[in-house]
Structure 1
């Protein structure tokens, strides 16, 4: 009797441990909730990095040139192309399937406290906060 109980306990412990140890990967290309950009996320040291790899509107309609980081307050950075723009900085693991750090918002040229959480194999939650005001969106995996 004790042997059966011990065996079941060991099997259950192994199964629970395997399930909790299975981390979802954020690596891959993700489509923003609005569908206007794709961001490639990859390992970056112990954390993750994310760069814009596609834009629905890659050209600046006013100039006819490739879109740039024009809202950046630093004049040297304001000329950098949007394609290839790094969005994450200091994104380090903070919980299972979650990284925390800073996210750059090209719409206003500012960086904000942020977290990235893998919800499922094809769903990623990206959140940012300014003081007590927080918001976020869900990104979907762009392809395999």
Structure 2
């Protein structure tokens, strides 16, 4: 009888330990759902384009709200419109200051896989790669609002 009782106590203790650990894990923030946001208006490194980043459903997106005349003309010459184009698409948080999604590159009319890292509250680094990691580029953006 003492063996059965001691086994029951051991099982109860194990169950309590697992339940406590599970409850504590549920209280930890999920980096894919919480953390710093990169919502706002951003300008690229040479100030030829401004993008408004905001929540789009359960993800983040970024839409072109301003471009200089040369950039608009370059894209128009390719038969496309730049203003209103969503260049950052379906970005979901993968870490405290990191998001992954798709980047539309108007100059080549292609969408590539992308990553955004919030390096500080006013700067992001956006990178995109085409062709299985080949042809990667990185751009630095600064918050303007």
Same-fold call, TM cutoff 0.5: yes
Q: Deviations over 1:22-72 (max 9, x none)?
A: 8222000000112110000001122101000011116538xxxxx64x54x
How many residue pairs get matched?
Answer: 113
Of the structure 1 ranges 83-92 and 26-35, higher mean CA displacement relative to structure 2 is found in 83-92
| Distance (whole Å) between structure 1 residues aligned to residue 58 and residue 72 of structure 2 | 34
Q: What is the alpha-carbon distance in structure 2 between the residues aligned to residue 59 and residue 41 of structure 1?
A: 20
| Partner SS for 1:99 | strand
- Structure 2 unaligned segments of length 5 or more: list them: 1-27
Q: What corresponds to 1:60 in structure 2?
A: 73
The two structures, once aligned, show a CA RMSD in angstroms of 2.5
1:140 and 2:124 are equivalent in the alignment: no
> What stretches of structure 1 of length at least 5 have no aligned partner?
1-16, 62-66, 72-77
Please say which structure displays the higher CA radius of gyration.
2
TM-score (norm 1): 0.68
CA distance in 1, matches of 2:73, 2:87: 19
> Counterparts of 2:44 and 2:102 in 1: how far apart (Å)?
17
Q: 1:129 to 1:59 in 2, by over 3 A?
A: closer
Pick one of 41, 55, 69 that aligns with 1:29: 41
Structure showing the higher helix proportion among its residues: 2
